Structures are given as structure tokens and as C-alpha cells.
Amino acid sequence: MNLIDVLIVEDEVGIAELHAQFFRQTLRFNPVGIASNLVMARSMIRIHKPKLIILDNYLPDGRGVDLLREIVADKKATQPDVILVTASSEMDTVKEALQCGCFDYLLKPISYERLQETLNRYLKYNCAIKAFDNISQRHVDDLFNMQVRDKGSSRLPKGIGELTLDKIKQVFNDNLGLKFTAETLGSEVGISKTTARRYLEYCSASGFLVVENEHGRVGRPERVYVRN
């Protein structure tokens, strides 16, 4: 199996060394270089052609996000994937990086446990890319989506409690044909409207309930749920 070349872009020598150490311990990743600023990073990308870059956002000569932009914009070069590392207060940078399409975002201080998760995901993603060598990114995304969906259907998703769900199903089973809104169900079961909406939408997605949008009071339509 080929090793995946990793470039570390980090201006703190100590942290960079720690990263390198971490990658050396893994079996699949090989740290090929440490760049302490954007200029070094650019030349190292050219020379080493790494497949993955751990990119710190805060560098002495600019922002990591800008390098990410350059990498994404450069259509000719083989595009390495980027894991952006930002301080936890820079949520706007995360937003920016997300729109540029970086592989993952880690907040400083980096938890190596979390980094390991990312790397596992990256390996899977890499396999998928190889397997579907010629098909579009869209399919790869679909593949990922599928995994998320599958996870949801196998057992109850987070936020859906078994107890509450049973209670709600009971109410609907007891009142066959009766229409409920989030409000009426909420007061019936004793949960907030927001929570009621969550469960009702979950039930309608799973096919237990049918939804109708009705014209209720003047100017205020209502969304009603009824047992399928």
C-alpha cells in the first residue's frame, strides 16, 4: 500500500514537530515536510506534491485560507486535500474554508483523537475516489450521504427518544383519523411545540404520519399530521 504524503504547514516549530511525530506513528501517512510560512508552503507543494496538507490558518505571512483558495483555484496542479487548523474563536474562517471546500477543519488545540478520526475518514474517502475513479464528485457525495442516512435508519437518531416517540405514536394510534398540529400534539403529550415538530417531522419522514398543509385561521395556514 502506498503511503500518503502529508505536508505540515505550521509556524510553531514545537507543534509542527508533534504533528510530524503523530503522522510517523500512523502506518499510512508520511510527513514529507514542514513549512513555517506561506512562501515555504507554496514551494513545498510544488516540489513534494503532497496528497494531504495540515494547514494552520494563522501564519506569519498570511492566512491559510488564502492558500486554500489558491490551491482550489489552481486547476492544473494535482489538488491536494486540505485539513485546516484554526483557533476556536475564528468561526468565520471555518465558514470561509467550508465554502472553499476543504476536507476538514480542526480547532486548536488539536485533539489527536479527533485528527485520527479525520484521517480514517480521509482513507475511506480516498478509497471511494479510487473505486469510482471516473465518476463525478456528486456520486461520492451521495455515497457519503447514504452512510449518514443508513446510520439514521438503523437505530433512533440523536434527539429522538424512544419513550417520547412511543407516547406520540400511542396518541396517533388512539386517535385514528384525527389531525394534529405541532401545538395540539405538544399539549397532548406534554412537550414543547419545537420538540413536537421534531418528532412529527421524523414520523412523517419514516412514513408513520401523513402531512397536509391546511388553510387554518385567516392568513395563518396550518400543518396537520394524521396517522397513515
Partner 1 sequence: MKTAAIQLINKYRGGLSFSSRVFMLIFGLMFIQLTFITTNFHQTLLDTLEDQVGKRALIQAQEIASDPELIQEVRIKNIAAIERVTDRLHKISDASFIVIGDDKGIRLSHPDKEKIGFPMKGGDNAGALQHGESYISIREGSLGYGVRGKAPIVDFDGNTIGVISVGYLLNRFDQWVALYFKPLVYELLLSLVLTLGGAWLFSKHIKKKMNGMEPAEIAFALHLQESILSSVYEGVIAIDRQGKTLAVNKSAVQILGINQHFEALKKNSLLEFITNYQFFFKTPYEQNLKDEIITLNGKTVIANRVAIYNDENLIGWVVSFRAKNDINSLTAELTQIKQYTENLRVMRHEHANKLSTISGLIEIGEYNSALEIINSENNKKQQLIDFITSRIRLKKVAGILLGKYSRAQELGIELQFDPTCQLLQLNAPIESSDLSAIIGNLIDNAFEATLKNPDSNKIVTVLITDAGNDLVIEISDNGCGISDDIASSIFSRGVTSKEDRDGHGIGLYLIQRYVTNAGGVILVDDAEPKGTTFSIFIPNKVTTHEFN
> Does residue 65 belong to the site contacting partner 1 (CB under 8 A)?
no
Of 127, 87, 119, nearest to 103 by C-alpha is 119
Among residue numbers 187 through 216, which ones bind partner 1 (CB under 8 A)? 192-194, 197-198, 201-202, 204-205, 211, 213
- In the region spanning residues 129 to 148, those forming contacts with partner 1, defined by CB under 8 A, are 141, 144-145, 148
Q: Is 116 in the site for partner 1 (CB under 8 A)?
A: no
The rounded radius of gyration (Å) of the Cα atoms in the chain is 24
Residue 219 as a binder of partner 1 (CB under 8 A): the answer is yes
DSSP state of 111: P
Asked whether the beta carbons of 57 and 90 are under 8 A apart, the reply is yes
All residues at 6 or more sequence positions from 181 whose CB lies less than 8 Å from its CB, including other chains: 222, 223, 224, 225
**Which one among 157, 173, 175, 178 touches partner 1, defined by CB under 8 A?**
157
Query: Amino acid identity of 118?
Result: T
Site for partner 1 in 9-48 (CB under 8 A): none
**Cα 91 to chain centroid, rounded:** 15
Give the relative orientation of helices 112-131 and 137-154 as an angle to the nearest 10 degrees.
120
Restricted to residues 81-100, the positions that interact with partner 1 (CB under 8 A) are 88-89, 91-92, 94-96, 98-99
What are 40's three cell numbers? 515555504
The residues binding partner 1 (CB under 8 A) are: 88-89, 91-92, 94-96, 98-99, 101, 104-109, 111, 114, 141, 144-145, 148-149, 152, 157-160, 182-183, 192-194, 197-198, 201-202, 204-205, 211, 213, 219-223
